[in-house]
Chains A and B, each alone.
Chain A
């Protein structure tokens, strides 16, 4: 089996050399709902251009949950915003690459078209649910507004649709919650309200940016359960951004690992967790403490990755991870490895293990 490579600028041909598109292997579908190739975001500063997102490539299939995992400085939130076309008005940022949603190129659309798409087929949920809601309006009314935008329903029907949505996301005591103000609800409930709002337009893709980071672990478990259910029952695709590998392990079908503005590795969850191909992924997995690992009274050292994440604009020559990498060789210091596909998995590393 040959490996295919897609160099950073060659977005048009990425992934096409192999017969299979990424994300297909597990699902057997031929066309991805969302296809991102070579996404770039740079910032124009006084001293030239600073690349914040250098090359992001991944697919989201219908009914698939894809998790983008990365630490601060990885560019994950910016990538997702660029995917939704939210960066158009910022004159200091330049976006490049291709983002194809259902056969349409988002980055080439006009702003109104992008907005229509965002309101209908794509929806987004954020980290701080209480900050996203209007504090002086009952939440039921806010969701009703979304419903009316999406379906143009009259008042009473909108309200019953709101009740339906609330039930769908697992909110108890629907009437009471609908009348409540955001500060009267807990973080977990607010987040469910946000999801209900997002579902109003029956989106095909739900994008969630760190939706559970601000929540307690028991509430987080409930919410991830909900996302699972939505994927199963509605065949909704979910693109979830997180810094927590555990979240990805819990619900993702495909994991995209980002480092310093680039895709480090893409693959199915099981493969990423059991046989990571990129040293950064392996390092992350090794450095996370696991329950049961330190039993028997012995405090074991965690296999931490040394060094710190490089700042955008101050990246080393060659591979950005090289200074911290255990498997670094000469070539890594001068040449930045391209994204190489192997079936459903891709990696940017000269030393990545190959099967077959």
Chain B
């Protein structure tokens, strides 16, 4: 291995990296498909009336537990309601919960992580040990515990419970990134210049650690939707009104041998939304990594 070999390798490594960077930068068909799909779901959530064939709460007692057919494309449930209509109207609560949980978790988790990473020592130890406790519990179990602690089934409790479960993800990453930025020269420079620490955090730390946190938030939407659906499935979701996807799943469970469509379609919907958000999140991560 000579120095000239090293020069060669360095050049080639750089060429290869440039080439792969260019390919990562491109938007693949799967990312396109995810984008289009999510757009449709968001549209359905915003204007369910336009998409749905009818009111989901309307009962068709003569067509109870009918399979997918011309009249009801995805079949009917035990009360004769159109599964398709229920699915469309269920999109809103699913997305709202997903996004709210992601945002709530992001704010709470990132704040914890930034505080721990910036101030270090006692703050770091106490916050991260608390974080470790949160991480000990499997997501759904933690959500159950929090939900029970908060007093049971309701939409607000569901959102908080799910958000709590996502906090550790943010806290870890926010802490690591903050520690990295904390060591940067421009933070030292700001401290010498006399800027108050709060300002340094808001103006210098946060903008520079935003990228990975945004990626996590995107992925957290998917995780939150699944966890929320699980809670609803177990009966801890919102009470009354249109059943959301998790509650649909629960309903279908009892009838699964005779009416597979009641569980299957909500299940597929959840899966597709999660896959789509994951693909978008991955693509975002690749793009942002290139920039940094």
Contact = CB atoms under 8 A, between A and B. Distances in A.
Direct contact between the two chains A and B in their complex (CB within 8 A): yes
Interface string B1-36: 111111110011011001100000000000000000
Contacts, number: 52
A335 to B, nearest CB: 35
Secondary structure class of chain B's binding surface, majority of residues:
helix
Interface residues of B, number: 14
A89 B12 contact: yes
A124 B9 CA distance: 13
B100 to A, nearest CB: 41
Interface string A90-116: 111000000000000000000000010
Contact of B8 (A86, A91, A134, A149): A86
Contacts of B7: 81, 84, 86, 124, 126
Contacts of B1: 134, 142, 145-146
A84 B14 contact: no
B151 to A, nearest CB: 58
Sorting the interface of chain A by its residue count into under 10, 10 to 19, 20 to 34 or 35 or more gives 20 to 34
Interface in A25-81: 81
Contact of B2 (A87, A90, A92, A123): A123
A252 B194 CA distance: 48
A194 interface: yes
A318 to B, nearest CB: 33
B4 A90 contact: no
Contacts of A145: 1
A346 to B, nearest CB: 28
Contact of A200 (B2, B11, B18, B19): B2
Contacts of A119: 2, 4-5
Nearest to A145: B1
A20 interface: no
Contact of A91 (B2, B4, B15): B15
Given A90-B14, A91-B15, A146 B2 contact: yes
B3 A125 contact: yes
Interface in A179-219: 194, 197-198, 200-201
Given A89-B12, A89-B15, A197-B2, 12 more contacts: A81-B11, A84-B7, A86-B8, A92-B15, A119-B5, A123-B3, A123-B4, A125-B3, A126-B3, A126-B7, A132-B6, A146-B1
Interface of B: 1-8, 11-12, 14-15, 18-19
7 contacts: A87-B11, A90-B18, A91-B19, A125-B3, A126-B6, A194-B3, A197-B3
